[in-house]
Structure 1
Amino acid sequence: MEGKNSINKVTAGSLLITLGIIYGDIGTSPLYVMKAIFGDAPIQKNLVIGAVSCVLWTLTIQTSLKYVWLTLQADNNGEGGIFSLYTLVRKLKKRWLIIPAIIGGSAMLADGIITPPISISSAIEGIKIYYPDLQTIPIVIGIIISLFLFQSYGTKTIGKFFGPIMLLWFLMLAAVGISKIIEMPEIIKAFNPYYAYLLLTQHPEGFFVLGFVFLCTTGAEALYSDLGHCGINNVRVSWIFVKTTLALNYLGQGSFLLLHDDIQLKTFENGVEFIQNPFYLMMPQWFIPIGIVIATMAAIIAAQALITGSFTMINEAMRLNLWPRVLVKYPSIIKGQLYIPSTNWLLCIGCILIVLHFKESSNMEAAYGLAIVMCMLATSILLTYFMILKRFPKPAIIGFVLIYSIIEISFFIANIEKFHHGGYVSILVAGLLASVMTVWLVGKQIRKSYTEFVKLKDYIDVIEDLSNDDSIPQYSNNLIYLTNAQNRNEIESKVIYSILYKRPKRANIYWMLHVNVIDEPYGMEYQVKKFSDKIIRVDFYLGFRIAPKISPLFKKVLEDLSACGEFNKLSTYHSLRKNQIMADHKYIIIEKVISYDNDLPWYEKFVLDCYAFIRKRSLSEEKAFGLDNSSVKIEYYPLIIDKSVPDLVLKRRKDKTD
């Protein structure tokens, strides 16, 4: 609780850190929102005021009310994000809630592929004000590659500069916005929601312009996901400042367009289409180069936040059995910071392909938003059940469902129109990620359903006899099996088969280790059950953000047991014990091999084939659990699916010599 209270404490330093970590995505939205709304549309008074009105009310209703006020209450011991929310509501025992969790998580990861290209491209394209023929693609790709190359070193050093840079960014948004509002104060009418209605009825895109308006709030989900780094109080206090600066900048862009209603944002330079950005156009000429530099740094920070968030989500998905095991590294001692090489380079390749495919940020806007609105819908479903779990008043729950169903379904329908213009990319990426999660989850469930468990107490006597049988060479002092048996009194039949039948393994102590994933993100506990002096089971209770490194965890358990006299850590060999040599350990990992000659339902065969394909390309079990290869033995055990044996009419042929 002390750690939770410390990150919730509001100080100038904590608020500065929050600016750098939380608001990169939503904070850079002024770079492309107004440009997206007015790319092809005429600059008319009602449309301009209506566009700003839509943006302001979207930030208020969707970001301020839903996320900053309500969703942040659904923190899991200080941690946020859709997977953290799922771990809270799964207590309701509604198995289908895993579906919105998978959809929302996949959509967030898809957003991590699109956000860096659109943010960085929008910033860099400001240079075209001076050099219209400049090819920005190589510059954008160069920045993206450099950003991903840096990930393996962690963000400890550059993180110190995130806060000050984002503070400078938000102050710039406010200052530039105010300078234009003073010139055209009529833009204040945008606070009247009636003008938002006019936008929807008079804009050439009609209702579907909401798809571009929605871009202003896409970072709200990332704001919730990064909650654990800063704490609720810091997020809520800093949001007041952030929303104010965003509102001032959007009002400023609107003022500029009202002052220059004859401007054509879509232009052609040397036959090439280019959409001018009102974000840069409203700046004084002398300040534009400075604005481009600051915008580029803010865009890089926004990209960094999404990349770091993707690492966290993949790590959580692994712990929730929604993703195959992959290598996880910890580049610094900062809590929650990790580096996943496979995810890093897949994101990098994805970002580069997005840049090469769409070329300009104006084209990327079509792909952006569709996936994240799906994530918001999924969050709303889970949040509804969280409100039920926490016994919110029924009128409040019904009101939430009605209001946000209308708002988010409207955004979804508006974004669907983007599908053929690029939205298919985000849906394709999210669909692929969701398929991997589904196959991994269902594949594990199918394999578990065919796993046979036996009562361990039925084998205590025979295992103890084996341990005391000097006629059999000792296999190891401590023989360790990893078990999936949830029932502490049971064990997989394959473990008994390994001990007794597949070369009988004599050991001094047989350990059965089981890892339970608990809802508390950073919980670390263990429990010991002794079946006899020779058979001991250890259950680890680890939070969904804790890496299950079995070797150091088990070593800690042995130290505790040795300290209280429950375990002798010295070798049983007399010569080694005499010289105070520690007992040796041997881990046995049993790989289940499925025979497909059995009559499985077609869908189970398909899922298990896909599961096997993914598993071959994922991290091995011994590496995933941090085991030393020299102390690991891998055995292959047939997972018998169909035990029915056909009646075989087999006769013995008599030998002619008989």
Structure 2
Amino acid sequence: MKQTTKALDKISAAGLLISIGIVFGDIGTSPLYTYNAILEKYPVDKTLAFGAVSAIFWTLIFQTTIKYIIITLRADNDGEGGIFSLYALIKKYSKYLVIPAILGASFLLADSIITPPISVTSAIEGLKMIYPDIPVIPIVLAILVFLFLIQRAGTSLIGKIFGPIMLVWFTMIGILGISSIWQNPAIFKALNPVYAYNMIAHYPRGFYLLGGVFLCTTGAEALYSDMGHCGRNNIRISWFYIQICLVLCYLGQAQYLMQHIGESGNTLNPFFGLVHKWFLLPAIIIATMATIIASQALLSGTFTLITEAIRLNLWPKMRIVYPNNMRGQMYIPGMNWLLLVACCTAVVGFRTSDNMTAAFGLSVTITMLMTTFLITAYLYIKRVNRILVFLMFVVYLCIEGSFLFANLQKFAHGGWVTLMLGLIYAFIMYVWYRVTHIKTSANNFVDTASVLPQLKQLSNDDSVPFFAGNLVYLTASNGSGQIENKIAYSIFDHQPKRASLYWFVHVEVQDEPFTTAYEYTIVAPQDIIYVKLKLGFRVAPKIQVYLQKIISEMADRKEIEVAPKYAFSEISKKTGDAKFVIIQNFLSNQNDLSVGDTLVLNVYFLVSHFSLSPEQEFSIDDSDVILEKYPLLLSAPKEIALTRLN
């Protein structure tokens, strides 16, 4: 744990560069579209120009710097960040904390289908200032396909490639802002919060402009999710340079608007309006590369989020690939291709960045609000000053509640898409959470000692056909003293299985990346052996390979005797054959369940068809697997009165 914390807080030039390349892409490219979302078709005046940049500045201060950089990054779970890591730290204190965790994660996932399209489209649309007839959609689709194809390389490689480019991007937008501010340094007065209040209170529909203002901070939640990729202090130090560049760029855009008083907002492009014509094409190229990173920031956070959901039994099992040796970096092929299809569909459906801004931000507002509930609970549990915690909660409830209310106007303009997807994600997570608890409560254990005499008798009963030399069951039991009753049912009731040795194997995932260790208990010599495999989070759980090695080592030490009557290969002569029995649940027709539980369980078993099977998860060859069905009986059937007629 100490090593994890030390690594998390370590500062290095490479770590800073990777942080810039991975973490800040989303929030860093917000100047491309934030002002466009605020302006819409409204006429530009000083109240709008000054009020918008003031609101943006204080949103960055309160939402990003104070809430996430200073407060939330303190809540790491063995080096990992994100809403599920935060939930894992506090879940034992209240079962109801799962509600904000599920909602927050679900709506963050939903918003991930808009972030890559809006970022890339807003940059490519700048080409229309040079080539008015250029087809934007095919270019955007090509870039998105490229982005999703390179995910397999891992975020470390991506960060090293894009880190320098992103550094150029932030420096460029800072310089563009300064070049505009230079014409009228008095624009710095706009940072006074009074101007934000004047816009909200006095500009027509000023309060609802907060829906556009909010886009300046939408990448903050992904910033927290990416903590495990880059380290807490690397993110914190990088942010202060990035924040300065962002504020300078937004001030420069405000000054640009002051030069276009009275014009309609939808005729202006405040970002590319800062760029001189001779530099327009290079700026568009740099912006396009930066938007690729904007998408990467959310994608890497999404992979982290799904991985944590799987560990918490809130999501179906999916194949996870670790592209490199760095902790916290992973790639999930299934989610990658699902997001690719969804993002391309969003591009084709919305077609322009202006249409996307009308739908963007609503879902992630809910995510930030849920994070506020969880971080408040975390600080309360950590016994931080209760008055300060309460004040923080009230302040952010007001701020984010206002943003949520302002963003609700986006519902009819496409926001319903992300809300619908968020609810679907939330329902799947709830189903997995609910059914996991149902199965746990229904998973009865029996003492190993109670079945030992009968097991010995079966092992030596020549009248029962021989089933396997080594018969292996994966068990949820954390110790050798108990096994699941369904395992006993499988051995004795479901065609008695006579074997020389019965192995009960429990897999325990470790925080260290490359741990491959085991411990075992010989419950009964030459009859029952319990094995606990301790595998690092980066180690593929190749149970069959590991168990074969364990059998071989125990045979060498004369702890077990494996002497197959017939064997051809040297390894078979030494270890004998092995059969793995995988027990799968099905919903028994004898259950008398409520409508709600019936729906939840049927959805679970339907979706589980798309989840990894146990033999795939644990890398067991199909030829050595025996699949068995075990009824999930949750409620005894009602007593039925039968009348005998004869």
Give the TM-score of the pair, scaled to structure 2: 0.93
1:286 aligns with 2:278: yes
Residue 518 of structure 1 and its aligned partner are, at CA, apart by: 7.6
Residue 444 of structure 1 and its aligned partner are, at CA, apart by: 2.8
1:508 aligns with 2:500: yes
Distance verdict in 2 for CA 1:520–1:153, change over 3 Å: closer
Listed as ranges, the matches of 1:95-174 within 5 Å are 95-155=95-155, 157-174=157-174
Partner of 2:311: 319
Work out the CA distance in 1 between the residues paired with 2:303 and 2:539: 13
Residue 55 of structure 1 and its aligned partner are, at CA, apart by: 0.6
For residue 455 of structure 2, the aligned residue among 429, 454, 463 is 463
Partner of 1:613: 606
Work out the CA distance in 2 between the residues paired with 1:204 and 1:553: 69
SS, match of residue 635 in structure 1: strand
Partner of 1:217: 217
Work out the CA distance in 1 between the residues paired with 2:540 and 2:388: 38
Residue 122 of structure 1 and its aligned partner are, at CA, apart by: 0.5
Distance verdict in 2 for CA 1:35–1:523, change over 3 Å: farther
Structure 2 unaligned blocks of 5 or more: none
Partner of 1:599: 592
| CA RMSD of superposed structures (Å) | 2.7
Partner of 2:293: 301
Residue 60 of structure 1 and its aligned partner are, at CA, apart by: 0.7
Residue 204 of structure 1 and its aligned partner are, at CA, apart by: 2.5
Range with greater deviation from structure 2 (241-250 or 465-474):
465-474
Q: Are the counterparts in 1 of residues 42 and 264 from structure 2 also a CA contact under 8 Å? A: no
Residue 125 of structure 1 and its aligned partner are, at CA, apart by: 0.5
Q: Are the counterparts in 2 of residues 370 and 412 from structure 1 also a CA contact under 8 Å? A: yes
SS, match of residue 297 in structure 2: helix
SS, match of residue 512 in structure 1: strand
Give the TM-score of the pair, scaled to structure 1: 0.91
Residue 489 of structure 1 and its aligned partner are, at CA, apart by: 3.5
Deviation track 1:123-143 (CA, whole Å, cap 9, x = no partner) reads 001011123333311211121
Work out the CA distance in 1 between the residues paired with 2:44 and 2:352: 22
Work out the CA distance in 1 between the residues paired with 2:549 and 2:122: 51
For residue 321 of structure 2, the aligned residue among 329, 332, 347 is 329
Residue 549 of structure 1 and its aligned partner are, at CA, apart by: 5.0
Distance verdict in 2 for CA 1:414–1:608, change over 3 Å: same
Partner of 2:67: 66
Deviation track 1:572-611 (CA, whole Å, cap 9, x = no partner) reads 3266599563343221111122223532211111111111
Work out the CA distance in 2 between the residues paired with 1:552 and 1:30: 53
Q: Are the counterparts in 1 of residues 228 and 329 from structure 2 also a CA contact under 8 Å? A: no
Work out the CA distance in 2 between the residues paired with 1:545 and 1:578: 31
Q: Are the counterparts in 2 of residues 47 and 202 from structure 1 also a CA contact under 8 Å? A: no
Distance verdict in 2 for CA 1:525–1:264, change over 3 Å: farther
- The number of equivalent residue pairs is 641
Work out the CA distance in 2 between the residues paired with 1:380 and 1:547: 36
1:499 aligns with 2:500: no
Range with greater deviation from structure 2 (345-354 or 157-166):
157-166
Deviation track 1:285-307 (CA, whole Å, cap 9, x = no partner) reads 11111110000000011112222
Work out the CA distance in 2 between the residues paired with 1:632 and 1:209: 60
Partner of 2:392: 400
**Which amino acid is 2:13 matched to?**
A
**Which amino acid is 1:324 matched to?**
P
Q: Are the counterparts in 1 of residues 42 and 266 from structure 2 also a CA contact under 8 Å? A: no
Work out the CA distance in 2 between the residues paired with 1:162 and 1:558: 48
Q: Are the counterparts in 1 of residues 521 and 530 from structure 2 also a CA contact under 8 Å? A: yes
For residue 572 of structure 1, the aligned residue among 560, 563, 566 is 563
**Which amino acid is 2:316 matched to?**
P
Listed as ranges, the matches of 1:362-373 within 5 Å are 362-373=354-365
Partner of 2:195: 195
Q: Are the counterparts in 2 of residues 125 and 136 from structure 1 also a CA contact under 8 Å? A: yes
Work out the CA distance in 1 between the residues paired with 2:514 and 2:107: 25
Distance verdict in 2 for CA 1:573–1:412, change over 3 Å: same
Residue 456 of structure 1 and its aligned partner are, at CA, apart by: 2.4
Residue 492 of structure 1 and its aligned partner are, at CA, apart by: 2.4
Q: Are the counterparts in 2 of residues 358 and 364 from structure 1 also a CA contact under 8 Å? A: yes
SS, match of residue 469 in structure 1: coil
Q: Are the counterparts in 2 of residues 77 and 520 from structure 1 also a CA contact under 8 Å? A: no
Residue 468 of structure 1 and its aligned partner are, at CA, apart by: 2.8
Q: Are the counterparts in 1 of residues 327 and 513 from structure 2 also a CA contact under 8 Å? A: no
Residue 183 of structure 1 and its aligned partner are, at CA, apart by: 0.6
Residue 161 of structure 1 and its aligned partner are, at CA, apart by: 1.3
Distance verdict in 2 for CA 1:417–1:529, change over 3 Å: farther
SS, match of residue 113 in structure 2: helix
Listed as ranges, the matches of 1:325-404 within 5 Å are 325-404=317-396
**Which amino acid is 1:395 matched to?**
I
For residue 624 of structure 2, the aligned residue among 626, 631, 635 is 631
Work out the CA distance in 2 between the residues paired with 1:205 and 1:547: 56
Work out the CA distance in 2 between the residues paired with 1:522 and 1:366: 46
Q: Are the counterparts in 1 of residues 81 and 227 from structure 2 also a CA contact under 8 Å? A: yes
SS, match of residue 514 in structure 1: strand
SS, match of residue 358 in structure 2: helix
1:184 aligns with 2:184: yes
Work out the CA distance in 1 between the residues paired with 2:92 and 2:512: 13
Partner of 2:424: 432
Range with greater deviation from structure 2 (79-88 or 532-541):
532-541
Residue 566 of structure 1 and its aligned partner are, at CA, apart by: 8.2
Listed as ranges, the matches of 1:438-477 within 5 Å are 438-477=430-469
Distance verdict in 2 for CA 1:576–1:334, change over 3 Å: same
Distance verdict in 2 for CA 1:500–1:102, change over 3 Å: same
Q: Are the counterparts in 1 of residues 470 and 503 from structure 2 also a CA contact under 8 Å? A: yes
Residue 421 of structure 1 and its aligned partner are, at CA, apart by: 1.5
Listed as ranges, the matches of 1:417-428 within 5 Å are 417-428=409-420
SS, match of residue 531 in structure 2: strand
Q: Are the counterparts in 2 of residues 480 and 585 from structure 1 also a CA contact under 8 Å? A: yes
Deviation track 1:22-70 (CA, whole Å, cap 9, x = no partner) reads 1111111111111111122221112211111111111111110110001
Residue 313 of structure 1 and its aligned partner are, at CA, apart by: 1.6
**Which amino acid is 1:455 matched to?**
D
Deviation track 1:263-294 (CA, whole Å, cap 9, x = no partner) reads 43324xxxxxxxx4210011111111111000
Residue 370 of structure 1 and its aligned partner are, at CA, apart by: 1.0
Distance verdict in 2 for CA 1:231–1:650, change over 3 Å: same
Work out the CA distance in 1 between the residues paired with 2:539 and 2:36: 43
Q: Are the counterparts in 1 of residues 19 and 159 from structure 2 also a CA contact under 8 Å? A: no
Distance verdict in 2 for CA 1:189–1:525, change over 3 Å: farther
Residue 156 of structure 1 and its aligned partner are, at CA, apart by: 5.4
Distance verdict in 2 for CA 1:86–1:260, change over 3 Å: same
Listed as ranges, the matches of 1:479-490 within 5 Å are 479-485=471-477, 489-490=481-482
Residue 543 of structure 1 and its aligned partner are, at CA, apart by: 7.7
Work out the CA distance in 2 between the residues paired with 1:46 and 1:522: 58
Work out the CA distance in 1 between the residues paired with 2:352 and 2:394: 38
Work out the CA distance in 2 between the residues paired with 1:302 and 1:176: 19
Work out the CA distance in 2 between the residues paired with 1:86 and 1:560: 41
Distance verdict in 2 for CA 1:642–1:78, change over 3 Å: closer
Partner of 1:273: none
1:14 aligns with 2:5: no
Q: Are the counterparts in 2 of residues 76 and 520 from structure 1 also a CA contact under 8 Å? A: no
**Which amino acid is 2:40 matched to?**
G
